[in-house]
Structure 1
Amino acid sequence: MRPPYTLTDKILSLVASISEKIGEINAHHLYKPTTELRKKNRIKTIQSSLEIEGNTLTEEQITALLDNKRIIAPLKDIQEVQNAIEVYERLKQFNPSSIKDLEKAHAILMKDLIDKAGKLRTSNVGIVKGSKVEHIAPDGSMVRGLMNDLFRYVKEDPELNLIKSCVFHYEFEFIHPFLDGNGRMGRLWQTLILMQQYPVFEYLPVESLIKKNQKEYYNKLSESDKKGNSTPFIEFMMAIILEALQQVLLAQNHNLSTKDRILIFKEKMQNERFSRKDYLQHFKNISAPTASRDLKWAVEQKILEKYGEQRLTEYQFIG
């Protein structure tokens, strides 16, 4: 059975805008950022998703752990980060339609943090915020059946993946299938559903925008609970996804270094020869002198081979 939600005008408008942005990203070959940017975005994702759950580690400390350096911090926080690093590195190994894979991912994410990591709960739980019970999760005896229904929706329903991922995220938080770690798992699995169709989501730090809008994130989960459908949460998450995609395009225009631009262009051109004009058409927001400096740098670094002079100059990536 399909989970309850309504496709509002706002959702349909967001779908159109997101599709447009993904088209732009694909056209500019930005769906696979350079190694350096991938690492930065992965660190942002891990730091933000865990900070929402109370983890204290900074981006600098997470970078140190990624580089196998020692840091001084609470052991629990270090364990959480090490687990998250491992699960995100193995993201492509998980099938978003498989409950077994969900349990495997949870076992990695919550290793040495809780007793029943990777096991769906069979006991009853309530979510407490401060002194107030925020949400009574479904009875433990219902969890397996509810999760089977949810995964059947993910696997078989013809709904758009963009919407499906948001519905899954909300329903997962509502069911609260594990004793702990549900927030970070819900965000992780939405990413996994999205990246099956849109590779850009593997390294898109959506979690950092959720962290910035954390109060509204919880408010929309609560509003959806009260309404008995995920529509308010879908609208919120789709707006977050759109903003994250806009940031990718903005970064291309304003924040990329010479090296970033050259490596992105290498992904596009492979072994084909090209001119400075071709380079400028790809990076529309840089000037002709900047393009010349980029190409000169790449030649000096032996990344590019240069052929011809002045207007007839062409370039080709080495190796």
Structure 2
Amino acid sequence: MKWNWQQKNWPDFIYSGKALDEFERVFLVESSKLVGATAIINEEEGRKFTIDLMSEEALKSSKIEGEILDRDSVSSSLLRQLGFAPQYSDHRANDKEKGIAALMVDNYETFDQPLSHEMMFNWQSNIIAGSWRIQDIGKYRTSKEPMQVVSGYEGHYKVHFEAPPAVSVPKEMDAFIAWYNDSSPQGTNPISPLIRASIAHIYFVSIHPFEDGNGRIGRALSEKALAQSIGRPALVALSHAIEKNRKEYYKQLEQNNKELTIDLWMSFFSKTVLQAVNHAQKLVRFTVNKTRFFDNVQQQTNERQAKVLSRMVAAGMDGFVGGMSVKKYMKMTGAIERTAIRDIQALEKLGAFTKTGKGRGVRYWLNLGEEFETEKNKFLREQKSTKRLSGIPSESRHP
């Protein structure tokens, strides 16, 4: 079997630019809306949006590779590295959390700078920090063993892809970097945003130049390309959108790694980018809503209530899983039942909480707007389904 890099005209990818015209148009419109939305929010809201988006991207990009990181540790590391927090504020973050945060910050601060070997060496050093099993850190792979993407178990492996041999990598990466910089908006041969970001990703991961970290760096390169196209850093939630479609993402990479024709990959990737832009737009609205939410209630809440509200907001845009109950409130705050009920009722009266259910099924939800009630709606659907399955009419379960 021949892989794409073994084809005669590698790396001249074949695609129909016309097929992406509508995607390109929508991307320019929606990304302009996103830039406009971030331009009119205040400095504090802008900082929160930046940290929230970068934290989520760091977590999702790592999760795609099977690594689960702590959100608070990643956020604290981002705050420190961006200069928004004291030097040692991220002491609880481990090497992987600090490393992915460092990649995000460098990509944020240098988005408009040309790509270089040194830039990617630095990224890889950061995200592989603390990995004892990796030999080649901060440099391209050197092993004579084939670099393969495999699944299965010993004796029954399936090879999904085999990258160029290590001896070819420096030359391949020279060509990749030259193409990447030449195709930028300031380059000698600029190409449209979605085409460039799509090719950058599949081109880079096809070379697979590093012993580890190729997926995270490949997504960072696409985000850098998109940021350059709109002239602003860190505004596209690409890893979030890819993680939601992770199986399809790997399927498309596999389907497009044997030939140079990549129309299917570019269509998938373009749709994913548009989902990422829409998610970032929603995150701007969430950031504004939660800031104004706290402005409205912070002077009227006690320490227990403030702690619970912060924990619920930290759950993100979908909402707090399962809603807040009296028992959960007691566990979070250490309050006795009577105090917990009084606190919750005060938050409901204040407009911070909305209430659903009756009796033991009562749950309370943050009042941030219908757009951010995914978990609430999911919970209500599950409750309704449970009542149907039990044969107990919902009207009579709690008489």
User: TM-score, normalization: structure 2?
Assistant: 0.58
Counterpart residue number, 2:21: 12
The within-5 A match list for 1:1-319 is 3-30=12-39, 34-60=46-72, 62-63=74-75, 67-68=89-90, 70=92, 78-91=94-107, 92-93=109-110, 95-113=113-131, 114-123=134-143, 124-130=146-152, 131-156=157-182, 157-252=189-284, 256-257=288-289, 259=291
Percent identity, please: 21
**1:141 positional shift:** 1.6
CA distances 1:231-257 after superposition (whole Å, capped 9, x unpaired): 322221211111122233344557632
2:38–2:46 Cα contact (<8 Å) kept: no
2:160 aligned counterpart, secondary structure = strand
1:87–1:109 Cα contact (<8 Å) kept: yes
Q: Relative to 1, partners in 2 of residues 1:9 and 1:196: Cα closer, same or farther, differing over 3 Å?
A: closer
**1:126 positional shift:** 1.0
Q: What is the RMSD of the two structures over their aligned residues, measured on CA atoms?
A: 2.8
1:98–1:151 Cα contact (<8 Å) kept: yes
**1:30 positional shift:** 4.6
2:11–2:260 Cα contact (<8 Å) kept: no
2: CA distance between counterparts of 1:178 and 1:251?
33
2:53–2:280 Cα contact (<8 Å) kept: no
The more displaced of 160-169 and 245-254 is 245-254
2: CA distance between counterparts of 1:258 and 1:207?
23
Q: Relative to 1, partners in 2 of residues 1:223 and 1:31: Cα closer, same or farther, differing over 3 Å?
A: farther
Higher radius of gyration, 1 or 2: 2
- The number of aligned residues is 256
CA distances 1:71-93 after superposition (whole Å, capped 9, x unpaired): 7xxxxxx3222111122122224
**1:166 positional shift:** 1.6
2:73–2:90 Cα contact (<8 Å) kept: no
CA distances 1:258-297 after superposition (whole Å, capped 9, x unpaired): 7469xxxxxxxxxxxxxxxxxxxxxxxxxxxxxxxxxxxx
**1:229 positional shift:** 3.3
User: TM-score, normalization: structure 1?
Assistant: 0.71
Higher relative contact order at CA 8 Å, sep ≥6: structure 1 or structure 2?
Answer: 1
**1:218 positional shift:** 0.5
CA distances 1:64-118 after superposition (whole Å, capped 9, x unpaired): 66552537xxxxxx32221111221222247343222222222222223223111
1: CA distance between counterparts of 2:124 and 2:35?
31
Q: Relative to 1, partners in 2 of residues 1:252 and 1:29: Cα closer, same or farther, differing over 3 Å?
A: closer
CA distances 1:129-148 after superposition (whole Å, capped 9, x unpaired): 23311111112221111111
1:133 aligned counterpart, secondary structure = strand
1:96–1:192 Cα contact (<8 Å) kept: no
In structure 2, give the amino acid aligned to 1:257.
N
1:226 aligned counterpart, secondary structure = coil
Gaps of 5+ in 1: 72-77, 262-319
